[in-house]
Amino acid sequence: MRNTFGKLCVILAALVLLFSVAFFTVSLILKDSDYIEQKYKELDVSTQMGMSVPDLSKATEALLDYMRGERVNIKVDAKVNGEDVPDVFYHEKEIVHMAEVQTLWLGLDAFAKFGAIGALALLFVGFLLIERGKKRAILSSGIFWSCGIFGGVLGFLGIWAILDFQSFWTVFHFLIFPSSLFRYLSAGGTVQAMNELNWVLPGDSIMVNMLFPIFPSIVLRCALCVIIEIAVVVIAAVFIRFAFRKQGSRSPVADIVVIEHDENEPIPIKGPDLVLAHKLHNTPVSKRAEILRRAKNGEPLDDPQKPQTAVKEHLVGPFYPEEPQKEEAGPMSEQAPEQPAEPEEQA
C-alpha cells in the first residue's frame, strides 16, 4: 500500500513538473520577438495586412506584454494601408477577450510557479513512502507513467487540431473559458449566440489577421521543445532505474575473505567452497536452493537419507590397482592336514 501511494505521488508530482516546464518554455518562446518578426517576414504578413513589419512586431509585443500583466491596456498606434491609426485594436471584443486571456495566463503562471514547488515536495514525500530497495524502480516507473500521460494528451490534442481545427478551437476555448459555454447554452446554442461570444472576433479584426498566419509556426516550435523535454525526462528516468544499480548478495561459492593472522604464521584464506561449487554444478536447478540452504546453515550437503556411493567404485583401475585378496577358509571348507611324507623304503 505504501508503494502504491508513493507511486501515485510521484506520478502526480511529475505531471505538474512537466506542465510547469512546458509553460515556462512557451513563455520563453513568446518572448522571442526576433523569431516572431522573422515569421512575419517569411510569411509576408506585411503585404496582406498593409502594415510594416516593425508595426506588426510592436502590436504583437503590446498584446503579449498586456497578457503577462506588464501593460495596462492594448492600445497601440500604427500605420495601416498608409494611414495613421491611433488604436489598431479598437474592437470591444478584442479588449474584453484579451482581458480574459490575461486572467487565464496569470493564473497559469502562478500555478506553474507554486505548482513546481509543491510538486517537488510531493515527489519527496512519495520517495519517502516507497519501501527501501524499490525506490529506484518505482520512482522511474512513476516518471514513465507521467511522461506517457502528458505526452499522450498532447499527442491527442495535436492530432485533433490537424484533423479538425475548427472543432478543436471551439472546444478548447469552451474549456479554458467555461463562462462562454454557459452563455452559449443559455442563449440556445444558435449561430448568433456563438458569434456573440467574446473570443469569436470579427473578420476585420487586426488581432486575428495579424496572429493567425504565424500561429501554426509558433505552436509547432512549442510542441517540438516540449517533445524534447519529455524525451530528456524519459532518459533521466532510464538513468535512475539502471545507473548505479545495487549489486545482489554475493554467492557463497565466490565469497573470498582474508582473515588477519599472526605475521609469523601463514595467513589462512577462505576461498571458494569447491565442494559446494561441485554440488551446485552437478545438481538439477530445482535442488540447488536446498543445497545453498544447507551450506548456509552448516548442514551436510548430501541428504543423510540418500545412500552414499563409495568413492572407491569410481576410481579407475590402472591408477589404483586392487590388492589381491586371499580366500578365507570357512568352516565347511576345512582341508585335511597334510600328512608328512613317508620315508621311502630302502631296498
Do the Cβ atoms of 59 and 79 come closer than 8 Å? no
Q: Please tell me the least confidently modeled range out of 79-83, 122-126, 340-344.
A: 340-344
Average pLDDT, the chain: 81
Do the Cβ atoms of 46 and 60 come closer than 8 Å? no
Q: For the segment 171-210, what is each residue's pLDDT rounded down to a tens digit?
A: 999 999 988 999 999 988 898 999 999 899 988 888 988 9
d(C-alpha 344, C-alpha 347), whole Å: 9
Sequence-distant (≥ 6) Cβ neighbours of residue 231 within 8 angstroms: none
Whether the pLDDT of residue 66 is over 90: the answer is yes
Hey, where are the domains in the chain?
A: 2-242, 247-302
Whether the pLDDT of residue 311 is over 70: the answer is no
d(C-alpha 99, C-alpha 44), whole Å: 29
Q: Please tell me the least confidently modeled range out of 37-46, 179-188, 224-233, 248-257.
A: 248-257
Cell of 103: 486572467
* Selected residue with higher pLDDT from 275 and 256: 275
What pLDDT, on a 0 to 100 scale, did the predictor assign at position 347? 40
DSSP string computed for 107-148: HHHHHHHHHHHHHHHHHHHHHHHSPTTSHHHHHHHHHHHHHH
Do the Cβ atoms of 54 and 41 come closer than 8 Å? no
DSSP string computed for 141-194: HHHHHHHHHHHHHHHHHHHHHHH-HHHHHHHHHHHH-HHHHHHHHHTTS-HHHH
What pLDDT, on a 0 to 100 scale, did the predictor assign at position 194? 92
Considering only CA atoms, which of 5, 67, 56 is closest in space to residue 30?
A: 67
Whether the pLDDT of residue 39 is over 60: the answer is yes
Taking the model in full, what pTM does it have? 0.67
Considering only CA atoms, which of 62, 100, 102, 98 is closest in space to residue 78?
A: 62
* Selected residue with higher pLDDT from 313 and 155: 155
Whether the pLDDT of residue 254 is over 50: the answer is no
pLDDT band at 266 (very low <50, low <70, confident <90, very high): low
d(C-alpha 277, C-alpha 292), whole Å: 10
Considering only CA atoms, which of 198, 180, 167, 11 is closest in space to residue 97?
A: 198
